[in-house]
Structure 1
Amino acid sequence: MLYPSGHHVAAWRHPATSVTANIDAGHYIRAAREAEDAGFEIAFISDRLGVPKAREEALRRVDEWSHGFEALTLASAVAVSTTRIGVVATASTTFNEPFNLARQLASLDLISDGRIGWNIVTSSLEQESENFNPVPSFDNGDRYRRADEFVDAVTALWRSWKPDGFVRDKESGVFFEPGTVNEAGHAGPHFRTRGPLNVIPSRQGRPLLVQAGSSEAGKALAARTADVVFTAQPDLVAARGFYQDVKRRVVAAGRNADDLRVLPGIFPVIGATRADAEDRYAELQHLIQTDVALSLLETYLGDVELSAVDPDGPLPDLPVSNSIRSRQSLLVDIARRENLTVLGLARRIAGARGHFQLIGTAEDVAGAIEDWVAGGAADGFMLLPPTFPDGQTDFIRHVVPLLRQRGLIAAPDASGTVRERLALPPVDAAFPHHRRERA
């Protein structure tokens, strides 16, 4: 996951990170290239369409990744600067139109030679809705109903072209055969788009569909449409339950269980010894500013207001969030199970933000990854480095060789679309003759 200075909220204050990482395209390109050389399959770019609320004293210290590049723009820079790794960019179904987004993503997929993915989000911050006109409904159910139709409209547009209809014969003057192109003809409660799309598919057929919501509505959308699910799961038991639930839903939707890959996030702090890892983690925790940690917690609890709550007291009962329901439920469960105060929970999630957090040696991390995969809890993982570049580099240098020794990952592969490298089923609309020769 290509965060600026790291996934820990205080990473930007660490001596090893750059304070301008969030506005340095070269930073993201270097990180993606390092991951590509190590054999990673995906470079994931998150995004949001507004600055989250923050306590007045935290306004100057708010989460740095809210002040960086737009995801599709950054994805284009990363895609043309790499040759093998997939590039997944986040785009909202609440604040976009299907035709424009389908065209942008299809263009990126052609530019990258079949390496683009779309992280489908419905947006989670009320502040995002204040930047658009007219304002669509921000109700959780309405957002997901819109998302369902949005994905249908986009995929219909991506099927506008038949892959075997392009002749490109200079002698006869025939570029493509009649019947090669079809109108999408989508008409629904939220969108109308006739098509056809004026961008043809890459050899991948269409961009990878990635879904990151773990609510009931999010899992239903993923089971029907997604190729990959990125999920926050704090431990093996929870991850196994989620994995089995989603796979059952995929089968119930008429697909094969292996048509979808489940990737939990992992936040590893790696040391030469466990004591060394604990020291590294403590160094990051020492850099946390209380107001920033509490503002981050309020955001991940669904934009709740905790200013009137004693930070040294227990987390109160909360209304069900309209925005980020699955993460709210996860964090409340952590607070109750670990008997944390409000501030204790804020500090607890300042790094992993609810994802699986592991502080230990490279052997500890590799062993946990093996246990999760063998235990039916994951098909792979989304790496959330605590800091960049050190957190990613440490994982690549020390954990990746152990994973190779255990047969969990293969050597870097220079061929294939991101869909092929994830062993996902092919898409009918793929254009096999589009592969570019690379120097």
Structure 2
Amino acid sequence: MTRMMSLGLSMRYLGYHAAAWRHPEVDPGGASDLAHFAEVARLAEAATFDMVFLADGIGIRAKDEPAGSLCQSAQTAELEPLTLLSALAALTSRIGLVATASTTYNEPFHVARKYASLDRISGGRAGWNIVTSWSDAEAQNFNRDSHLDYATRYERAAEFVEVVKGLWDSWDGDAFRHDKAAGVFFDPAKLHVLNHAGKHFKVKGPLSVARSPQGRPILVQAGASEAGMEIAAGSADVVYAVPHDIDTARTYYAGLKRRVAAQGRDPAHLKIMPGITPFIGRTEAEAREKYDLLNALVAPELGLSYLYGQMGDLSGHPLDGPVPEPNDPKVRSIAQNLLTLARREDLTIRQLYTTIAAGFGSRILIGTAAQIADEMQDWMEREAADGFNICPPALPIGLRDFAAEVVPELRRRGLFRTDYAAATLRGHLGLPMPASRYGTPVMPSR
């Protein structure tokens, strides 16, 4: 039987191409405008996407390296994700709403409360993308000179996630009696106090938000490191991945599914969704023209700046020479994926930064709707993916192309839904309600 794919839409900034803001059909101020995101979310909902996704960093990570590059970047001003998604919850009715929150620069109670509130506001459509953050720019906004070391932040993250999950179990689904005659607002036997005391956190609880309509919000994880995959295997419902070839993707997919099974979970209950940036045309030549148009708008300084954050400082190497080993990379998994891509396709540094600038490190697909669908179907059938995180090069125009051309093609092949069959994000993903750690009813309170 054909597997149905899941589709998420990454809608950060104005699209995933570095020069998206310079496209003649893109509003350069859109990333600071609710109306822009409302249009994008409604388009994605009309196309029956599972979710929209807002990645986030709590600081301007980009540096002026090389000099003059920062002022060319649109990735410098944006809206706070949970504030934005709360507004979008009122403007949409079915699509899932997922945003990033850092385990390094938040406390578990903050995250548990905010996402539980978003889940109730949206009627069961919230998801938390778990990250540890990675940049000193973020550390310097939170009383630190430099970022926590790799081992410490992942150790903290693992405990953080368990505390949040515990807080989300504070109330049974039927805890609130609202018995006006008896004067009983809730059944005290159905309230659970966490009393967590660990290495990094001491959290009493309970959470001051009723149980989530989904049992708990969806947990999303994007790391491909050893520590990140362990968190994903134990807790995540969705993993965003960034492989650039199907062999790497299949190896990652099989390995992570094995880890899930080793944790005592059903591997089918974790959806692996690689990111893709599609350039779509009525012909392959037209798709290539769209790709070339945006690439021509990338200034050399801006293009080169993309390598500083992903691969370390490569300024001492010739731009038209081969890509060297990463030099002190901030995100090891992304750096290794990019090095693999460069070596496989024999890219120069200049060619690699053009590739990154076109999709911020995600896999680029250029072609007709049928060609894009062929690639997606192949990855599904060969167990390299359970779905995809669509990262349009420019918004909203890239989403319009995908919704008008690729979604109908996927539907014709029986790979994607024609309408929503559920009201919650958990339902869209086909995931079961999670059991409470207290062995109590998991139905929502209303």
Map 1:1-400 to 2 at 5 A. 1-51=10-60, 52-55=62-65, 56-62=67-73, 64-133=74-143, 138-301=148-311, 304-319=312-327, 321=329, 323-400=330-407
Within 1, Cα distance between the matches of 2:326 and 2:75? Answer: 27
Residues 94 and 136 of structure 1 are in contact (CA less than 8 Å); yes or no, is this contact kept in structure 2? Answer: no
Q: Deviations over 1:233-289 (max 9, x none)?
A: 112221111111110110011111111000001111000101111111111111111
Within 2, Cα distance between the matches of 1:39 and 1:414? Answer: 10
User: Corresponding residue for 1:437?
Assistant: none
**Normalised TM-score (structure 2):** 0.93
Greater CA deviation, 410-419 or 40-49? 410-419
Greater CA deviation, 87-96 or 168-177? 168-177
In structure 2, relative to structure 1, the CA distance for the partners of 1:50 and 1:101 (3 Å cut) is same
Residues 17 and 387 of structure 1 are in contact (CA less than 8 Å); yes or no, is this contact kept in structure 2? Answer: yes
Q: CA deviation at 1:91?
A: 0.5
Residues 92 and 120 of structure 1 are in contact (CA less than 8 Å); yes or no, is this contact kept in structure 2? Answer: yes
Q: State the secondary structure of the residue aligned to 1:432.
A: coil
1:415 has 2:422 as partner: yes
Within 2, Cα distance between the matches of 1:399 and 1:332? Answer: 30
Within 1, Cα distance between the matches of 2:158 and 2:133? Answer: 14
Within 2, Cα distance between the matches of 1:415 and 1:251? Answer: 27
Within 1, Cα distance between the matches of 2:301 and 2:203? Answer: 46
Residues 115 and 217 of structure 2 are in contact (CA less than 8 Å); yes or no, is this contact kept in structure 1? Answer: yes
Residues 204 and 419 of structure 1 are in contact (CA less than 8 Å); yes or no, is this contact kept in structure 2? Answer: yes
Within 2, Cα distance between the matches of 1:318 and 1:83? Answer: 44
Within 1, Cα distance between the matches of 2:146 and 2:359? Answer: 31
Q: CA deviation at 1:306?
A: 2.4
Within 2, Cα distance between the matches of 1:158 and 1:221? Answer: 17
Q: CA deviation at 1:433?
A: 4.8
Within 1, Cα distance between the matches of 2:12 and 2:427? Answer: 26
Q: Deviations over 1:288-334 (max 9, x none)?
A: 11111111121122xx222333222222333453x311001011111
Within 2, Cα distance between the matches of 1:127 and 1:137? Answer: 8
Q: Deviations over 1:171-221 (max 9, x none)?
A: 111111121111111111111100001111222111100001111111111
Consecutive unaligned residues of structure 1, counting only runs of 5 or more, are 435-439
Residues 48 and 66 of structure 1 are in contact (CA less than 8 Å); yes or no, is this contact kept in structure 2? Answer: no
In structure 2, relative to structure 1, the CA distance for the partners of 1:300 and 1:183 (3 Å cut) is same
Q: State the secondary structure of the residue aligned to 2:359.
A: coil
Within 2, Cα distance between the matches of 1:319 and 1:281? Answer: 29
The residue identity in structure 2 corresponding to 1:345 is L
Residues 233 and 354 of structure 1 are in contact (CA less than 8 Å); yes or no, is this contact kept in structure 2? Answer: no
Within 2, Cα distance between the matches of 1:412 and 1:24? Answer: 29
In structure 2, relative to structure 1, the CA distance for the partners of 1:97 and 1:135 (3 Å cut) is farther
Within 1, Cα distance between the matches of 2:155 and 2:76? Answer: 26
Q: State the secondary structure of the residue aligned to 1:308.
A: coil
Consecutive unaligned residues of structure 2, counting only runs of 5 or more, are 1-9, 437-441
Q: Deviations over 1:408-436 (max 9, x none)?
A: 111221632101110112123544352xx
Count of residues paired in the alignment: 430
Greater CA deviation, 165-174 or 149-158? 165-174
The residue identity in structure 1 corresponding to 2:342 is A
Within 1, Cα distance between the matches of 2:235 and 2:207? Answer: 20
1:427 has 2:434 as partner: yes
Residues 280 and 367 of structure 2 are in contact (CA less than 8 Å); yes or no, is this contact kept in structure 1? Answer: yes
Aligned CA-pair RMSD: 1.5
Identity rate of aligned residues, in percent? 45
